[in-house]
Amino acid sequence: MEQAGSTIKLTYREALKQGIREALKKDDRVFLMGEDVGRYGGAFAVSKGLLKEFGEERIMDVPLSESAFTGAGIGAALAGLRPVVEIMTVNFSFLAMDQIVNNAATLFHMSGGQLNVPVVIRMSCGIGRQLAAQHSHSWEPFYAAIPGLKVLAVGTHEDARGMLLTALQDPDPVLLFEYTYLLNVEGEIASNAGAVDIITAKVRREGTDVSIITYGAAVPKALAAADELATTGIRAEVVDLRVLRPLDEETFLASVRKTHRALLVEEAWRSVSVSSEVSARIMEKAFYELDAPVKRLGGVEVPIPYPKHLEDACLPQPNDIVNAVKKMLQHD
C-alpha cells in the first residue's frame, strides 16, 4: 500500500480487509465467521492475518455447512451480537437460502417488530476469474427481490472500505456482494476513508448525453467506456446503483431526466434482472423524458464457461458499452 498526500493507493482486497479490521476494533460484539476465514486467511486472502490479531472467538472457522453457520449467525444476531457471516462464493449461498430468505428476512415482520436480525452476510460474487459455473455468476437479482433484506453491491474501493462499517449499524439483515474480479485491482481512496452511506446511488462521472446505470464489477467497465466515449465528444454519465434493495430511484431518475437516454449495464443475466426493474421504473416515472428507448446490456444467458475467451464473451465489455451508446445516439 502506497501513501500519496491525502489519498492512499490499495487493492480492492486490502480495502475489504481494512473495513473488517476497523469493524472488529470498534465493537467487541463484531466477529467474523465463515469457511477458512481463520487459519487459511480466507479463500481470497481477505481475512489473512486477522486470526492472529483478534483470536479464535472473533475470527471463527466453521464447518462446511452454509445452512448451519448462517443460521448460527442469525441466532447470534438475535442474541445481541454483530456477526459478519462470510459465504465463500455466491453459488454456495443457495445452500443457506432457507436461513436467509425464510428466517433473516422475515423475523422482524413475523414477530410484529419485536425481533431484529442485525446480521451482515458477505458473499464473493461475479465473473471473470475463470472459476466456471461452480464458483461464478452474479445472482444479486435473486436477493434484491426479497423484502426484509438490504442488498449492497460493492463496486468501488471506497465502498469496499466503508460499506461493512455502516451495514453493522443496521438493525436488519444486510447482504454485501463483493466482486472477485476486482480483488487485485488497485485504486485510490482518501487516507481517512471510513464508513459510507448504504442508502444512495452515486454518480461516478457527470455527463449530459446518456446515463449509463450499472453496479458492481460493471462499474469500472462503464467508467472505462465513458472515458473512450469522451474522446469522441460523447459525455456519458455513469450512475453506480450501489444499493440494489431498496433502490435509490431518485438518483437514477434525476440522471435520466438530465440526459434523456438510459443504458443499463450489469453482468447478471438480462432476464428478470436488476436492470429489468430499473427499466420498468424509468418507463413508469420518466417515460416522457426519454429521447430514445431504454437499452439493456446483460450477461449472456448460459452457465458461465471456464475458457477465458468464452467467459469474456458472456459479459458486457467496455467496447460493447461504447457501441451501444453510439447506436443509441445514432437513433436520434
Residue 96 CA from chain centroid, whole number:
19
Among candidate residues 66, 140, 266, 267, the one labeled active-site is: 66
Whether 66 is catalytic: yes
Peptide bond into 246 cis (omega under 30): yes
Strand partners, 120: 84, 174
Question: Does residue 331 have an active-site annotation?
Answer: no
Counting Cα atoms < 13 Å in the Cβ hemisphere of 154 gives 33
Q: Which residues contact 75 (CB under 8 A, 6 or more apart)?
A: none
Q: For residues 77 and 205, what is the distance between their CA atoms, to the nearest angstrom?
A: 38
CA dist 304 and 312 (Å) reads 10
> Among residues 35, 86, 135, 158, which one is catalytic?
135
DSSP secondary structure string for all residues of 214-231: E-TTHHHHHHHHHHHHHT
C-alpha cell read off for 263: 443504458
Active centre residues (catalytic): 66, 135
